């Protein structure tokens, strides 16, 4: 496998939502999580070589993507961002961990230079949107063997669509949010066909502080027999 092992990790409500409403930061929902649940989440961060969130999540949530609730090494932060439109004061530019902004030919030169001056690395991958077919082998060849993808919905869809997800780890928060336009775990076009949907097999599950935690492995075949 000439790419990192990919784990999608997400906090979702019982109805599969990522936030309280479209455009909201997921931090509000995550405030429901207890210290023990945060420890579980940060334990995964400490286990991987790199962590990725989409550019929209950086703009909306301003996450740090570091390991704080357990002992462990911070993963490399990787942000796909097709025009390098990241706020220059974003937490991902803190000195706690290396940061890579992955961008495309559409990125204005000034933004790229500014990002480099903040200490982050810039990788070009793609013409329009970030091309994960190109990016993942490149990351793997640089020693990134395990990659955690922590959303949002658009990035999750890209990985699912391309068949690059090996494992899912979901923290089901014990609430229902509702709302037709509220982002769910996976966005994008959707498969629209039972023959194409991504199948997973439960590997482990447990309850932690009234949250249902589940780990699932991607099944290679398309449908259960």
Query: Which residues of this chain interact with ligand NAP, rule CB under 6 A?
Result: 10-11, 18-19, 24-26, 53-57, 60-61, 80-83, 85, 129-130, 150-155, 158, 183, 187
Smallest separation (angstroms) from ligand NAP to the CB of 162: 9
Nearer to ligand NAP by C-beta: 121 or 223?
121
Torsion over CA: 25, 27, 31, 36 (sign): positive
Q: Is 58 exposed, middle or buried (0-12, 13-18, 19+ CB in 10 A)?
A: buried
Shortest distance in whole angstroms from residue 133 CB to ligand NAP: 10
Separation between Cα atoms, residue 78 and residue 102, nearest integer Å: 7
- Of all helices (H) and strands (E), which one includes residue 50? strand 50-52
Here the tokens at position 70 are 């357990």
**37 or 53, CB closer to ligand NAP?**
53
Residue 46, H or E segment: helix 35-47
- Smallest gap from residue 172 Cβ to ligand NAP (A): 11
Minimum CB separation of residue 218 from ligand NAP in Å reads: 19
Q: Which is nearer to ligand NAP, 64 or 154 (CB)?
A: 154
Residue 25 corresponds to which tokens in the numbers above?
């930061």
Residue 81 or 139: the one with the smaller Cβ distance to ligand NAP is: 81
């Amino acid at each position: 496998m000439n790419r990192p092992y990919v784990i999608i990790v997400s906090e979702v409500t019982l109805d599969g939502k990522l936030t309280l409403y479209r455009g909201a930061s997921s931090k509000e929902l995550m405030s429901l999580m207890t210290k023990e649940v945060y420890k579980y989440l940060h334990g995964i961060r400490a286990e991987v070589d790199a962590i990725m969130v989409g550019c929209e999540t950086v703009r909306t949530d301003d996450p740090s993507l570091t390991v704080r609730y357990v002992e462990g090494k911070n993963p490399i932060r990787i942000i796909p961002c097709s025009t390098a439109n990241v706020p220059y004061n974003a937490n991902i530019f803190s000195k706690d961990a290396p940061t890579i902004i992955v961008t495309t030919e559409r990125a204005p030169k000034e933004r790229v230079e500014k990002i480099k001056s903040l200490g982050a690395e810039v990788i070009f991958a793609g013409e329009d949107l970030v091309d994960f077919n190109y990016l993942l082998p490149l990351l793997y060849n640089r020693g990134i063997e395990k990659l955690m993808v922590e959303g949002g919905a658009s990035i999750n869809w890209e990985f699912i669509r391309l068949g690059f997800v090996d494992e899912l780890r979901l923290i089901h928060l014990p609430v229902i949010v509702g709302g037709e336009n509220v982002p769910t775990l996976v966005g994008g076009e959707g498969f629209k066909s039972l023959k194409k949907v991504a199948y997973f097999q439960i590997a482990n599950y447990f309850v932690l502080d009234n949250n249902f935690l589940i780990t699932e492995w991607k099944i290679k075949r398309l449908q259960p027999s």
